[in-house]
């Protein structure tokens, strides 16, 4: 089985025939797909990202990714559409994108000196068929001073990021003590899981 998976991955790398649509405005996700040497185009649609309150964090990430996927049903004819959603969970609380700088300060103060989880749900849609998965990463933060938090918010404007931070930014260099799991998952797209799903999906033939 392992040999078959490796063959499928190599085949996908060199024989990508189906066009890929990335349904995300996130520059991080676009950078990651480019680094994976995948050919894709970006198509954007507005989607309501609310979710039932009784869902667990991993379920929320997948629920929203699939909600986005359903908006691209027609676009998936003859293409593979990639949709994703990333959330941060701290002590059971979901930390989404901050509303303003004050909200971002509150979030980063909570994360300071503690650990939290980052969940990314990913959906692949082809000809109306949706296949989904998620990945989880544990992130450990050093203690941040109020001055460091304000410096980061002022200079990096993390209002478009779940949990009010980007691990690839300055704060990731000075505050993240360690992670358990995928680094790219924290950036917004678990690339190893994604690549494996694309290869094993047999959608390139």
Q: Which residues are catalytic?
A: 85
Q: How far apart are CA 63 and CA 68, in angstroms?
A: 9
Instruction: List the one residue out of 20, 133, 17, 15 whose CA is nearest residue 75.
Output: 20
Q: What is the DSSP letter of 169?
A: S
Tokens for 131, please give them. Answer: 């296949």
Q: How far apart are CA 156 and CA 150, in angstroms?
A: 10
Tokens 């993240």 belong to 176
């Amino acid at each position: 089985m392992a040999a078959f998976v490796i063959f499928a991955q190599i085949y996908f790398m060199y024989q990508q025939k189906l066009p890929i649509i990335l349904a995300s405005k996130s520059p991080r996700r676009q950078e990651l797909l480019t680094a994976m040497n995948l050919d894709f185009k970006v198509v954007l649609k507005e989607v309501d990202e609310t979710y039932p309150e009784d869902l667990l964090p991993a379920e929320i990430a997948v629920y929203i990714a699939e909600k986005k996927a359903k908006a691209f049903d027609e676009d998936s004819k003859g293409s593979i559409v990639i949709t994703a959603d990333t959330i941060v969970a701290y002590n059971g609380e979901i930390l989404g994108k901050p509303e303003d700088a004050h909200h971002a300060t509150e979030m980063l103060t909570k994360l300071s000196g503690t650990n939290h989880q980052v969940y990314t749900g990913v959906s692949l849609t082809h000809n109306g068929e949706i296949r989904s998965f998620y990945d989880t990463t544990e992130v450990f933060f050093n203690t941040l001073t109020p001055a460091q938090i304000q410096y980061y918010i002022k200079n990096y404007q993390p209002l478009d990021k779940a949990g009010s931070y980007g691990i690839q930014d300055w704060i990731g260099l000075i505050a993240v003590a360690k992670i358990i799991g995928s680094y790219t998952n924290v950036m917004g797209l678990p690339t190893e899981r994604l690549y494996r799903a694309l290869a094993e999906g047999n959608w390139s033939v």
